[in-house]
Structure 1
Amino acid sequence: MAAPGGARRRPLLLLLFAGLVHSASAVLVVKDGNGTACIMADFSATFLTSYDTRSGPQNKSFELPAGAEVSNSSSCGKENASDSSLVITFGRGHTLTLAFTRNATRYKVQLMRFAYNLSDTDTFPNSSFTGVKTVESATDIKADVNTTYRCVSETQVHMGSVTVTLRDAAIQAYLSSSNFSRAETRCEQDLPTPTTPPQPSPTPAPSSPVVFRYNVSGSNGTCLLASMGLQLNVTYRTVDNKTVTREFNVNPNKTTFGGNCSTTLATLSLSSENLLLLVLQFVMNESSSKVFLQGVQLNLTLPDAEDVSFTATNSSLRALQATAGNSYKCNTEQRLQVTSTFSLNLFRVWVQAFRVDGDKFGPVEECQLDENSMLIPIAVGGALAGLVLIVLLAYLIGRKRSHAGYQTI
């Protein structure tokens, strides 16, 4: 069973969306029955949640406090029987769980789970519901065995109506000593941008994906309408050490979808057998009344990959933008670069988030790509018209000159 370890506390400044908040950092330790540490974690965490109140959806941001503790339900696991886990408790019944797995060379946080108590009136005032709600998601937190996972940059994990932001993180599981290893595996966000991207092997492109109409509703009706075809473009290393880029169509006939609504956040979530999770997160900037796609999260299973679990997240996009109350439409194929190894291809997009009147799209704002495609036929038509006019004038001038040499008898 786990026992709480020693702790140190230090303030850390976190930037979360548009606001500045302070969060505490603590060394959290899980020990086995002999008192030997098997998991150590030191990070700051900020939680952004959306919950229902009597006056409508409400966003709430709060931090992992300095008094957070390691729960006795944490575990070092048993070889070939169970995996290790770090369970952190704080406040009035809130629990953050990091579940670890490993193979011969690497370990990872396979799953992050957050259980929050809506009966906590200090954190969730005027909540329409009581009791504990649980959300979870896979993560891209992973490191080589006997090294410390180190990430100074922000790492966001989207779990439905909750986003957890970690920063200045040092995490290690399956410890070989009673302290963090000096050897580190740095997160992708901390690594310098490569000057020359890898050259993937060419693969045949699949046919265009099926266009499907998605909708997400909340307590106040529909908050998101989207008609589009989706295609995943991923670059990864295969088991035979080759870098490949492949495209996968999202088949709506084999995909389930859902989502969440709040005042300024609308989320569309899709999942299927291999597509564990695809999340599209739309936000509304209330000061500018602009609506756009801000966040994309992908969890995908790749059977032929060196690491079968492919994850990618970006929460700083500004795509598919339109004025609140209007819809964004683009018939031209778009490629949205989410990370260096993942892009989302969008086909025949028509989307509207917030201020949706019933189940109908509002006034259309055309994308720049469609406007540019219209300029080409207009320019060609204008050139042809000019050429016809020149030929006609030349003919009339020539005809007039041919009559000038004759006199009337």
Structure 2
Amino acid sequence: MVCFRLSPVPGTGLVLLCLVLGAVSSYALEFNVTDSEKAVCLFAKWQMNFTIRYETTNKTYKTVTISDFSTASYNGSVCGDDQNNPKIVVQFGSGFSWTVNFTKEESTYSIDSISFSYNTSDKATFPDAKDKGILTVRDAVGFRIPLNDMFRCNSLSTLENSGVVQYYWDVHVQAFVQNGTVSTKEYLCEKDKTSTTVVPITSTAAPSPTTAPTPKEKPEVGSYSVNNSNGTCLLATMGLQLNFTHNKVVSIININPNTTDFTGSCQPRSALLSLNSSNVKYLDFVFAVKNENRFYLKEVNVSVYLVNGSVFSIANNNLSYWDAPLGSSYMCNKEQTISVSGAFQINTFDLRVQPFNVMEGKYSTAQECSLDDDTILIPIIVGAGLSGLIIVIVIAYLIGRRKSYAGYQTL
């Protein structure tokens, strides 16, 4: 029997469900498996989401974020027996499946592997995927935990394989539960041993770095464009500086346009500019149309190679930057910060973008950002001058009145 709990974020209630589905995507997943004696044999509680980068029919790349588990079911989750090991199986969305396998040794058990399957034939999620069908990525994990200990990892963990990045945090799991009682003794992951900060990708507060980044000079400004059958459909000019925090170490990368390749695509209501280089696997800027007459930067996806050979990846599809009317461009010459997450920001310099309605390969009239708008200084200066003049007149009047009183004597 499988019972599971969908736990809302703090401040709301808690509902226990057994073989009943229904929640919202912001809820943590929590469930337990019971054996034939109705004793708990496997317990798990965690939060997760996924980003999937796929190739489109026009040979560009898109990234989708999967974070809605409101349709989750747990068919196939088992305690395990002499022939089969325990496993957690979760089905959700349109053809998504996620499986965790456990193994047991004499005094320990292991989180052996994690598999994730998705169906690119789903037109709602992958509307223009080049390759159709069910794809699966499998990652060996190998965490070894003492028997009768709860494994806990509140810190953010990631797995990346074949364009799929899996994000996990607030993980609590115990396989091979003894005597039907979940243990209160915890075995911490390495990240929790050195840090108590939970950093999901939607966090807005960056952890305090232990190492100060080396100051970087202003990045070189590059020019990028995307073409379709009608000619140039997207223009971008900007200097880019990437700032990210990984394992409490802050890193800064200046994008060199001379060694950066770019591609993209243009649709009636969305546009993509994708950059890549030797140290940046991909940096995607996704633009969208809102209210039928304005565009804005809706999404940023990034994956950066680290010096130790690992990969740092972040995605956010709920941004709202670079807002301007359709048919115009957006311009911001001064340094501007795009906060993608608490762990990743982009500084832009001498920015100008136009993702829609490009005419003859040239920028249209620009809407300037508030940082560049110096016209507000004029009324401030004039107002300050008038205020100063009024103060001088009042002071002179008071002094004059005081002197006139001093000319009279008491009778």
Q: 1:64 aligns with which of 83, 95, 98?
A: 95
Moved more, 88-97 or 314-323: 88-97
The Cα offsets for residues 109-142 of structure 1, whole Å up to 9 and x where unpaired, read as 322xxxxxxxxxxxxxxxxxxxxxxxx6241424
Q: Give 3-state SS (helix, strand or coil) of 1:224's partner.
A: strand
Q: Which residue of 2 aligns with 1:308?
A: 310
Equivalent-residue separation in structure 2 for 1:219 and 1:248 (angstroms): 34
Asked whether the 8 Å contact 2:91–2:98 carries over to 1, the reply is no
The TM-score, its normalising length taken from structure 1, stands at 0.56
Q: Which residue of 2 aligns with 1:203?
A: 213
Match status 1:44 vs 2:92: yes
Asked whether the 8 Å contact 2:329–2:363 carries over to 1, the reply is yes
Q: Which residue of 2 aligns with 1:109?
A: 159
1:1-400 superposed matches below 5 A: 10=21, 24-27=71-74, 36-37=84-85, 40-42=88-90, 44-45=92-93, 63-64=94-95, 85-87=115-117, 94-102=133-141, 108-111=158-161, 137-142=163-168, 147-148=172-173, 188-189=199-200, 198=208, 200-237=210-247, 243-285=248-290, 287-303=291-307, 308-372=310-374, 375=376
Q: Give 3-state SS (helix, strand or coil) of 1:346's partner.
A: strand
Q: Counterpart of 1:272 in structure 2: which amino acid?
A: S
Equivalent-residue separation in structure 1 for 2:75 and 2:121 (angstroms): 16
Q: Give the superposition deviation at 1:324.
A: 0.5
Asked whether the 8 Å contact 2:89–2:98 carries over to 1, the reply is no
Distance 1:28 1:108, change over 3 A: farther
Asked whether the 8 Å contact 2:90–2:98 carries over to 1, the reply is no
Q: Give the superposition deviation at 1:214.
A: 1.0
Asked whether the 8 Å contact 1:260–1:268 carries over to 2, the reply is yes
Distance 1:355 1:12, change over 3 A: farther
Distance 1:323 1:25, change over 3 A: same
Asked whether the 8 Å contact 2:98–2:116 carries over to 1, the reply is no
Equivalent-residue separation in structure 1 for 2:257 and 2:275 (angstroms): 9
Equivalent-residue separation in structure 1 for 2:83 and 2:232 (angstroms): 53
Q: Give 3-state SS (helix, strand or coil) of 1:230's partner.
A: strand
Equivalent-residue separation in structure 1 for 2:202 and 2:119 (angstroms): 32
Equivalent-residue separation in structure 1 for 2:228 and 2:23 (angstroms): 35
Distance 1:267 1:383, change over 3 A: same
The Cα offsets for residues 196-224 of structure 1, whole Å up to 9 and x where unpaired, read as 95255433321111111111233444332
Equivalent-residue separation in structure 2 for 1:378 and 1:337 (angstroms): 32
Q: Give 3-state SS (helix, strand or coil) of 1:253's partner.
A: helix
Query: How many equivalent residue pairs?
Result: 289
Q: Give 3-state SS (helix, strand or coil) of 2:258's partner.
A: helix
Unmatched tracts of structure 1, length 5 or more: 1-7, 46-62, 112-135, 149-171, 238-242, 388-409
Q: Give 3-state SS (helix, strand or coil) of 2:74's partner.
A: strand
Q: Give the superposition deviation at 1:332.
A: 0.5
Q: Give 3-state SS (helix, strand or coil) of 2:373's partner.
A: helix
The TM-score, its normalising length taken from structure 2, stands at 0.56
Q: Counterpart of 2:301 in structure 1: which amino acid?
A: Q
Q: Give 3-state SS (helix, strand or coil) of 1:141's partner.
A: strand
Asked whether the 8 Å contact 1:277–1:299 carries over to 2, the reply is yes
Q: Give the superposition deviation at 1:378.
A: 8.8
The Cα offsets for residues 161-184 of structure 1, whole Å up to 9 and x where unpaired, read as xxxxxxxxxxx9xx778xxx9889
Q: Give the superposition deviation at 1:355.
A: 1.3
Unmatched tracts of structure 2, length 5 or more: 1-18, 27-63, 104-111, 123-131, 145-152, 190-196, 389-411
Equivalent-residue separation in structure 1 for 2:203 and 2:217 (angstroms): 35
Moved more, 213-222 or 203-212: 213-222
Asked whether the 8 Å contact 1:235–1:341 carries over to 2, the reply is yes
Equivalent-residue separation in structure 2 for 1:90 and 1:337 (angstroms): 30
Distance 1:89 1:296, change over 3 A: closer
Question: Percentage identity across aligned positions?
Answer: 26
